[in-house]
Amino acid sequence: MSPDDMQAQGFIQSVGYNVKSFWNESNNLAKQAEMDQNLAWMYEMKKAAGKTLFTRQALMKYGSQVQLFPGVEEWFDRIQDYGDKVGVKVEHYIISSGLKEMIEGTKVGRKFKKIFASSFLFDRDDVAIWPAQAVNYTNKTQFLFRIEKGLLDLNDQRVNDHFSPAQLKVPFRNMIYIGDSDTDVPCMKLVNSRGGYSIGVYDVKSNDKSKVYKMMRDKRIKYFAPADYTPNHALDRLVKDIIERTAKNEQLERRYYSCQNEVIANDSRELVEERNKTNLILALEDSGSFARTYKIIAKMKKIKSWNSQETKSIIKIALENSQVRYIANSDELKPFFYQLMGNQKSDLIDQLKKILA
């Protein structure tokens, strides 16, 4: 989104630091204290601010000074409109190791459905007093799962629950992850491995592609393009192509799940029928009256087919249970038994045929 660290675009200079010195001090603190690097620079920001009011408003003001890549300001509405045109709902999220309050202050801060980034806890006067969230390269991936499941509240523990494919709000196959730094690599790899699209972008001015080349070799990204978000440039065309492909893919996915659901429903019906057949066989075996036998056989007649084991069980019951055997050759039962036996041959069938004769 920006060619440089957001802290280095106004804040560091305003507190009298040299950018390089600030990061050296922050990194040394992290190393010496075995501290998360993000927590280290958040601490250094708070310390460097000194007596200056370190408020949410101040941080958002610094965010408003952040320089964006070409075309970023117009990107969001244009891409969402394009998605609407081809039948795809486009949502924008940002997962950043930068500072949430600064991102909110940028010209595009309101364009994101959700901002996942490092942030401060503020007191009643809106003064930053403690880190509320530290987002580093390893824990960035958790937010992809939150987006996938539509659980954007950071305290929603259901993110660890199993969701069926139909319950997923944004399946990984429909995700496009655009990144330009090493902290993006775990997310890029995850999106790639799950069928989504990871895009590495590089600065147009420097034209340094070494990082995206490495990402490509390491299979972290599927594509790379200049960080130029203006209409009809490479990134714009690439993302639109992916959106069009997503529209077609989702049509196929809907057909797939329709077929799959039909099979599941059919299997469920067959399972119910098998259970019903088992229950009827057990009921026939336990039948203690002619009336009960007639009722059970009437239900059995409605079933289209019986497998060989079920047939054998029913015939055996007809031979051994007197409440079945004595009325087996009645007009109500005899057709059922003949249909059940069909052309099969066995000693049990021969015995039953003698009773039916």
Determine the pLDDT at residue 316.
94
Tens digits of residue pLDDT in 117-172: 999 999 999 999 999 999 988 899 999 999 999 999 999 999 999 998 889 999 99
In CATH, what number does 67-120+130-255 get? 3.40.50
What tokens appear for 230 in the block?
A: 């203006």
Question: Hey, where are the domains in the chain?
Answer: 67-120+130-255, 287-356
Q: Return the CA Rg of the chain.
A: 34
Tens digits of residue pLDDT in 259-311: 988 999 998 988 999 999 999 999 999 999 999 999 999 999 999 889 999 99
Tens digits of residue pLDDT in 92-119: 999 998 999 999 999 999 999 999 999 9
Reported pTM: 0.76
Determine the pLDDT at residue 130.
92
Percent of the chain at pLDDT above 90? 77
**pLDDT (average), residues 347-353:** 92
Mean pLDDT in the chain? 92
Question: CB-side exposure of 36: number of CA atoms within 13 Å?
Answer: 14
Determine the pLDDT at residue 145.
96
What is the band of 71 on the pLDDT scale with cuts at 50, 70, 90? Answer: very high
Dist. CA 186–CA 188, nearest whole Å: 5
Determine the pLDDT at residue 52.
67
What is the band of 51 on the pLDDT scale with cuts at 50, 70, 90? Answer: low
**pLDDT (average), residues 44-71:** 87
Return the higher-pLDDT residue of 205 and 91.
91
Determine the pLDDT at residue 182.
87
Query: Is the backbone of residue 55 left (phi > 0), alpha (psi -120 to 50) or beta?
Result: beta
CA-CA distances (angstroms) from residue 101 to 35, 41, 105, 233? 22, 15, 6, 30
Query: Is the backbone of residue 199 left (phi > 0), alpha (psi -120 to 50) or beta?
Result: beta
What is the band of 8 on the pLDDT scale with cuts at 50, 70, 90? Answer: confident
Contacts of 22 (CB under 8 A, 6+ apart): 7, 8, 12, 41, 44, 48
The DSSP string of 214-280 is HHHHTTS-SEEEES--STTSHHHHHHHHHHHHHHHHHHHHHHHHHHHHHHHHHHHHHHHHHHHHHHH
CB atoms within 10 A of CB 350: 10
Order of strands, sheet of 93-99, starting from the edge strand that comes earlier in the sequence:
93-99, 114-122, 128-133
What is the band of 46 on the pLDDT scale with cuts at 50, 70, 90? Answer: confident
CA-CA distances (angstroms) from residue 342 to 35, 278, 280, 317, 337? 80, 20, 20, 17, 9
Dist. CA 334–CA 15, nearest whole Å: 100
Name beta bridge partners: 314: none
Name the DSSP class of 173.
Answer: G
Single out the residue of 202, 184, 281, 10 nearest to residue 273, CA to CA. Answer: 281
CA-CA distances (angstroms) from residue 347 to 190, 305, 313, 354? 64, 21, 13, 11
Determine the pLDDT at residue 324.
93
